[in-house]
Amino acid sequence: MHKSKWLLKSIGLAVLPLAFATAWAEDAPDAHKDVTPAELKYQAGASPLAGVEMHQDVNPKAPSMTKAEFDKARQIYFERCAGCHGVLRKGATGKPLTPDITLGKGTDYLKVFIEYGSPAGMPNWGTSGELTKDEVDLMARYVQQTPPQPPEFGMPEMKATWKVIVPPEQRPTKKMNNYNLNNIFSTTLRDTGEVMLIDGDTKKVINIVKTGYAVHISRTSASGRYLYVIGRDAKINLIDLWMPKPDNVAEIRTGLEARSVETSKYKGFEDKYAIAGSYWPPQFVIMKGDTLEPLKIVGTRGMTVDTQEYHPEPRVASIVASHFKPEFVVNVKETGKILMVDYSDINALKTTELQAARFLHDGGWDASKRYFMVAANQSNKVAAVDAKDGKIAGIIEVGKIPHPGRGANFIDPQNGPVWATGHLGDETISLIGTDPAKHKANAWKVVRTLKGQGGGSLFLKTHPKSQNLWVDTTLNPDPKISQSIAVFDIKNLEKPYDVLPIAEWANLGEGAKRVLQPEYNEKGDEVWFSVWSAKNQESAIVVVDDKTRKLKTVIKDPKLITPTGKFNMLNTQHDIY
């Protein structure tokens, strides 16, 4: 055979199964097509379940695997795949990978799919160098096995982890330090399992508190005394800010993987309860606010809002506390349900179920704190929840994969009050009207779309005293973009944004130096940015003057390792954003 003809035939044979694999992915109803590098970075985050022991159920129809191979493949799956395909491989934002589907495809077919990926969102794990040839083969065999199920985590398991380090009766009866509690920043040290408490007035470190793995959020209690932090391993730490040096007074694990914690804020219930939501098991837990004693566990498994099909692992995403009623607003990711949980009597818990859109994630209150705006990220929608009337006010089509953090509230000069979100999947910033009383025609619509630096935005922020809207692009593949910040003039939104070289101002050595999560201080005249590099590289916090947009100071410390989220106590306590 002529060499060129042989080469074409070989290429054709190689491309054929890839085409089949691509078609298989594109047929999936949940496929996220034209996936961007930013989306892949976001979705492929490691899960704490990678280290959890799980039973290998030998399926005689599946390719053989030793226990060592199974355990290695399971670890790879939970570190790289579970975020999209789900703990039980039944599909989440990605398609199902259960044996009823994968066995029929066969090992060779699956190897091509894993090696090359697809336009529907599957990363090219092999050709990118993320997985070796042997690991691609391992994963092709693994996804044909019966999915191992992590253990449940109920009341006995929770109470076995629950520790009251300092009982309430032994805690201070008044503030025992000279810190301005309103201006403390709880800063996540992602890869060390700690939070660094930084004095916003002096820029000095108050304390470094041991917490769970990769703290996701920090929340201030209604009184401002307590700080709740939760790691991705579902460990919650309760920190008493009245102590001479603020530190842990209680801790608990409420599951095996989690993202959300909140505290009761309604009048008469201040500091009384805390609530945490888990990714696994799919449930939320109500606890005593001052000790974290678990009181009530509620599962979230159930039917989806669109196809009304049963979903075995609907993860609990964001949770916020209503200012209008003794209610928690609990957002359930895979089912697309928003649960209004009345905690006035937890022994007779009442829950109102609202139907929004699937893959609910993060969000925040509008300026009035009546409407909760939550991103249904893979549906490219934002749902507006009326916390006063207990109903959906609107569901708004936005850009590709909204990721607002808490969002940003301000007055659009032409359109009135708006709440803004950036996006992981495109460069837009969507401004949604939030004032049905005085600007009815604009309510629950995108009234303006701004163009930012690019996709990969995780957070944006402004402040009631500011004229600036700050937008990060942390996961953008271009370092010039991920290492800078875009800032818009709220009073002149037609004006092009300015770009500030935040990472350059940090004056660090080698590293990714990704800039993320603008956070205001108590007075609203400073904006803090994390400059996030690897665990073995120098990171920093950059503080910018909000009015002049000039560098104010850089916070560095040998123990400031992988800083990500920063939470100002006053702004978090009162939902100011």
pLDDT digits (tens, 9 = 90+) for 448-485: 999 999 999 999 999 999 999 999 999 999 999 999 99
Mean pLDDT of 440-450: 98
Question: Are 150 and 54 a contacting pair, CB within 8 Å?
Answer: yes
What local confidence, expressed as pLDDT, does residue 391 receive?
A: 98
Give pLDDT, residue 117: 85
pLDDT of residue 128: 84
Return the biggest CA–CA distance within the chain.
Answer: 89
Q: For residue 123, name the pLDDT band (cuts at 50, 70, 90).
A: confident
Q: Which of 1-15, 292-306, 396-410, 562-576 has the lowest mean pLDDT?
A: 1-15
pLDDT greater than 90 at residue 362: yes
Residue 402 gets which letter from DSSP? B
Of 196, 160, 199, 158, nearest in space to 182 by CA: 199
Poorest-confidence range of 115-119, 298-302, 415-419, 557-561? 115-119
Annotate 345-390 with DSSP letters as a single string. -GGG-EEEEEE--SSEEEEEE-TTSSEEEEEEGGGTEEEEEETTTT
The CA distance from 476 to 467, in Å, is 26
- For residue 19, the model assigns a pLDDT of 39
- Give me the active site residues, please: 81, 84-85, 122, 361, 403
- Whether pTM > 0.85 for this model: the answer is yes
pLDDT of 148 over the 60 cut: yes
Closest CA to 434 of 387, 502, 401: 387
Q: Stretch 239-255: mean pLDDT, rounded?
A: 98
Q: Answer for the pair 455, 425: CB distance below 8 angstroms, yes or no.
A: yes
Nearest to 301 by CA among 284, 320, 319, 287: 284
461 vs 429: CA distance, rounded Å = 12
Lowest mean pLDDT across 117-126, 191-200, 278-287, 364-373: 117-126
Residue 49 has pLDDT above 50, yes or no: yes
pLDDT of residue 29: 37
**pLDDT value at residue 3:** 36
Average pLDDT over residues 285-296: 98
Residue 113: which residues within 8 A CB-CB, separation 6 or more?
17, 18, 21, 24, 25, 105, 122
Cα distances (Å, whole numbers) of residue 326 to 196, 254, 322: 31, 22, 7
Give the helix/strand (H/E) hosting 194: strand 194-199
User: Which pLDDT tens digit goes with each residue over 156-186?
Assistant: 999 999 999 999 999 999 999 999 999 999 9
Is there a cis peptide before residue 436, judged by omega within 30 degrees of 0?
A: no
Give the residue, 26 or 10, on which the prediction is more confident.
26
pLDDT of residue 95: 86
pLDDT at residue number 43:
65
What average pLDDT does this structure show over 203-210?
98
Q: Are 99 and 144 in contact (CB under 8 A)?
A: yes
Judged against a pLDDT cut of 70, whether residue 12 lies above it is answered with no
